[in-house]
Structure 1
Amino acid sequence: MEEHWRGPLYPARLPSFHRIPAPAGLADRARWIWIPEWNLANGRTSRQELLPFPALNLVVEPDGVRPYGPATRRAFRDLTGRGWAVGLLLRPAAVPFLCADPGALKDTDAALDLPGLRHPVTRAMAAGEINDDGGTHRTAAAAAASEWLALEVPAPAPEGLLANRFEELIESDVSLTRVDQAAALLSVSVRTLQRVVRKHVGLPPLAMIRRYRLQEAADRLRTNPGLGIADVAADLGYADHAHLTDVFREVLGFTPSGYRRSAERGDGK
């Protein structure tokens, strides 16, 4: 799967959407800055459905700044009118500096008073609403968000780097399905890994592993119509077709075959 589309369940329904990689010096604190913009006709609604990353997003919108905690289920947002958002997909190492208890934000969000982030990002995005500047406003907004992150969130300590390595490991190795496997590869105990991940993500390590596997399964079903569902299940560590179907129903509310059909149509129905 192209990482650009990991997360959105129906990419064809996205508004103008851009992901800008975090500057190299901040890659240990943020993966990328994502910027959707939309301008919908009166009475029209665009529902965006997501299987979110098991991570914390810090999001600037015209009315404020909100951290969105790790999600355990399908998420959606209905877009209307005209608007934008600028989000930072944070690496685990950055989370404790912004949220003492990320688990308290599971499946929810909160307001943060961060004028040093909100004001420069809002000014940059407002320039794009006034003029069609070819994306210069997005570049400026991403630069403002990056500058704020560099000033406010220090370079990670060893524990934060361990949490980052766990994230990288489970994303890159689809054969990894158990916490003890990850702990052995990272040369730490299972208990240490559980403590570090809860502190930096707010979820158990196994929940993170399962989310990445489900994201990968959804991508393969959407992008490779000829691939059998049983083959997807076997390759990603599910016991069988029925196991993958149960997980799809529990987290997403539909079956793998139902998702494949709706993704082919691009309508989510």
Structure 2
Amino acid sequence: MAGPDSPRRDTRGIVDAPELFARVRFRRRAPAPALRPYLEHYWLIDWDLTEPYASHVVPHPSVNIVFQRHGTAPGFGEVSGIGLELFTQKLEATGRVCGIQFRPGGFRPFAPAVPVSHWTGRRVLLDDALPGNEAAPEAVLGPRDEDARVAALDAFLLSLAPAPDPQAARAAALADRIRHDRSILRVEDFARAEGMSARSLQRLFAAYVGVSPKWVILRYRIHEALERAESEASVDWSALAAELGYSDQAHLVRDFTATVGVPPTAYAS
């Protein structure tokens, strides 16, 4: 499971990224080298707002561990399984978040007792999710120095001593292929090309990714449509639908609207 040496720079999944970045301080940081096979990156957010703001994210097929503190309330940590719907978080006053985004397939080695589908659609306090292994939230959230926060995240994850798992590595490689290869449109064809049955591929994804391969295919396509809507002045939605493998524009519009909450043309405007 080879991870990147530096965090990705795209804004895929973030709804109205420029607005979010204008209101909060958002950074991505790379984890320690030993953790990179399992993680996408750390993501750090701090805010000091004069009025409330709601952020919206179309979740990746990734589990996150999130340490957060809102205002003067005590900080806490939680395991956030893959979100199936649009995720909305209200931010107000002051706060801080230190998040860990795992690669698809990367979380299972840290919690090998249950399939990753166990966490899908759930947010579980860290004390309950990883009993006996939880980190003190203030050890992560407390330091003023950003490097110290990253070091605390490294120390927490390394203390869990993840064991390499060939099946997790296989799932990660397959999910990564779906992310980057637009020609992958049908689960049956993809499984056949990988020398697997569709059922075996589905079982692998349930155990190590947390959602079905079909869900991953659709989610990455919506991410791309969302990014194009934000970055291009005028989008040819019919052409984009064909480019993303949809049979027609109506199917893209349906999936985009169901995921983001508004049709793509309304979102782009």
TM-score category, normalised to shorter length: 0.7 to 0.9
Matches within 5 A, 1:125-144: 125-128=141-144, 137-144=145-152
Task: Kindly provide the amino acid, as one letter, of the partner of residue 62 in structure 2.
Answer: A
Amino acid of the structure 2 residue aligned with 1:33: Y
Which residue does 1:45 correspond to in 2?
52
Given candidates 81, 89, 106, the residue that maps to 1:93 is 106
For 1:96 and 1:18, the matched residues in 2 are separated by 26
How far apart are the structure 1 equivalents of 2:162 and 2:118? Answer: 23
Match of 1:7 in 2: 13
Mapped to 2, the partners of 1:232 and 1:153 lie a distance apart of 43
Q: Confirm whether residue 253 of structure 1 aligns to residue 253 of structure 2.
A: no
- Output the aligned Cα RMSD: 2.0
Specify whether residues 81 and 110 from structure 1 end up closer, same or farther in structure 2 by C-alpha distance, changes over 3 A only.
same
CA offsets 1:230-264 (integer angstroms, 9 cap, x no match): 11111001111111111112222210101111xxx
Q: Does 1:59 align with 2:59?
A: no
Q: Which amino acid aligns with 2:156?
A: W
CA contact (8 A) 1:60 1:118 kept: no
What secondary structure does 1:156 align onto? coil
Q: TM-score, normalised by structure 1?
A: 0.85
Equivalent in 237, 249, 253 of residue 241 of structure 1: 249
Measured in 1, the distance between the counterparts of 2:152 and 2:134 equals: 7
1:216 maps to 2:224: yes
Q: Which moved more, 1:31-40 or 1:155-164?
A: 155-164
1:179 aligns with 2:187: yes
What amino acid sits opposite 2:108 in the alignment? V
Distance in 1 (alpha carbons) for counterparts of 2:83 and 2:263:
19
Structure 1 residues 123-168: Cα deviation after superposition (integer angstroms, max 9, x where no partner): 353232xxxxxxxx22221122123222314242111111110121
Tell me if the contact between 1:28 and 1:164 (Cα under 8 Å) persists in the aligned partners: no
Q: Give yes or no for contact 1:183–1:189 (8 Å, CA) kept in 2.
A: yes
| More displaced 10-residue stretch of structure 1: 140-149 or 213-222 | 140-149
Please show how residues 67-216 of structure 1 align to structure 2 within 5 Å.
67-91=79-103, 92-95=105-108, 97-98=110-111, 100-113=114-127, 118-119=135-136, 122-123=138-139, 125-128=141-144, 137-216=145-224
Residue in 1 aligned with 2:72?
Answer: none
**What is the distance in 1 between the residues matched to 2:106 and 2:195?**
18
Distance 1:187 1:147 in 2: 39
Gaps of 5+ in 1: 129-136, 262-269
Deviations 1:46-68 (A, max 9, x none): 11011110111111124221111
Per-residue CA shift, 1:33-53, capped at 9, x if unaligned?
001111112xx1111011110
Does structure 1 retain, via aligned residues, the 8 Å contact 2:67–2:76? yes
Q: Tell me how far 1:3 sits from its aligned partner.
A: 4.1
CA distance in 1 between partners of 2:77 and 2:143 (Å): 19
Local SS of the residue matching 1:89: strand
Q: Which has the higher helix share?
A: 1
State whether residues 59 and 86 of structure 1, in contact with CA within 8 Å, keep that contact through their aligned partners in structure 2: yes
Q: Which amino acid aligns with 1:95?
A: R
**1:96/1:199 contact within 8 Å kept:** no
Q: Structure 1 residue 106: deviation in Å?
A: 2.7
Aligned partners of 2:188 and 2:95: how far apart in 1? 44
Aligned length: 249
* Alignment gaps of 5+ in structure 2: 1-7, 70-74
Deviation at 1:107, TM superposition (A): 2.5
